[in-house]
Amino acid sequence: MPAFSLRAARPALAAVVAVLAAAGCSSFDSASRQIAGVVTPYKIEVVQGNFVSREQVEALKPGMSRQQVRDILGTPLVASVFHSSRWDYVFTIKRQGVPPQQRKLAVFFNGEALERFDGDTMPSESEFVATLDNKRQGAKVPPLEASEESLKRFAQERKAPAPKPAAAAEPAPVTANYPPLEAPAR
């Protein structure tokens, strides 16, 4: 029986490895993508800017002061020194499994009074909340405003006295004696 030579088997071994690697690459697309789809790294949620709702935009009226606009929309993301008559509100959100969202609103002033505003069509608050929850399709959006009934119930709950905790020994008052910060004057 001839002796097995590793040197003679190297070309055959290299050919077998190359064939297996090529076969593995062709099946990488379907099976590996399914596995990679299940095992994905966590991607952080990125939220930048001010969310401006349709209700906020509808509250804007020409002639409002800068402070009134700030009270409705919040502090602008961009208020340029070179364009003091323009405020820009930009909102972007990037979440895993949800297409990124970006909305822009530019507010223009004539002196201290609101002249006009221009930008993307803004969603209502409830429409925006519905786009945030990607795990529960068709889930009911919770009410975003307090009803009269819930306000009354809340007021009654606040009037009810809270139960007192069991009597515990009062801790002794802590007295601190600190050294003076400066040396006495001589």
pLDDT above 70 covers a percentage of the chain that reads: 65
Residue 2 lies in a domain: no
Residue 171 lies in a domain: no
Select the more confidently predicted residue: 84 or 36: 84
pLDDT tier at 109, thresholds 50, 70, 90:
very high
pLDDT of residue 147: 81
Residue 87 lies in a domain: yes
Averaged pLDDT, 5-33: 64
Q: Cα separation of 57 and 62, whole Å?
A: 11
Averaged pLDDT, 94-108: 87
Helices (H) then strands (E): counts for the chain:
6, 4
pLDDT tier at 103, thresholds 50, 70, 90:
very high
Residue 142 lies in a domain: no
pLDDT tier at 37, thresholds 50, 70, 90:
low
pLDDT above 90 covers a percentage of the chain that reads: 23
pLDDT of residue 106: 92
Residue 81 lies in a domain: yes
**DSSP calls for 74-122:** -S-SB--SS-TTEEEEEEEEEETTEEEEEEEEEEEEETTEEEEEEEPPP
Domain interval for residue 120:
46-130
Q: Cα separation of 130 and 123, whole Å?
A: 10
> What's at 129, amino acid-wise?
V
* Structural domain total, the chain: 1
Residue 135 lies in a domain: no
> What's at 5, amino acid-wise?
S
Q: Which region among 38-52, 76-90, 92-106, 155-169 has the lowest average model confidence (pLDDT)? A: 155-169
Residue 183 lies in a domain: no
Q: Cα separation of 132 and 32, whole Å?
A: 29
Q: Cα separation of 22 and 28, whole Å?
A: 10
Q: Cα separation of 83 and 19, whole Å?
A: 65
Residue 91 lies in a domain: yes
On whether the CB atoms of residues 116 and 62 are closer than 8 A, the answer is: yes
* CATH code assigned at 104: 3.30.1450.10
What are the pLDDT digits (tens) for 121-179? 998 888 887 777 655 556 666 667 778 888 888 888 877 665 565 565 666 676 777 77
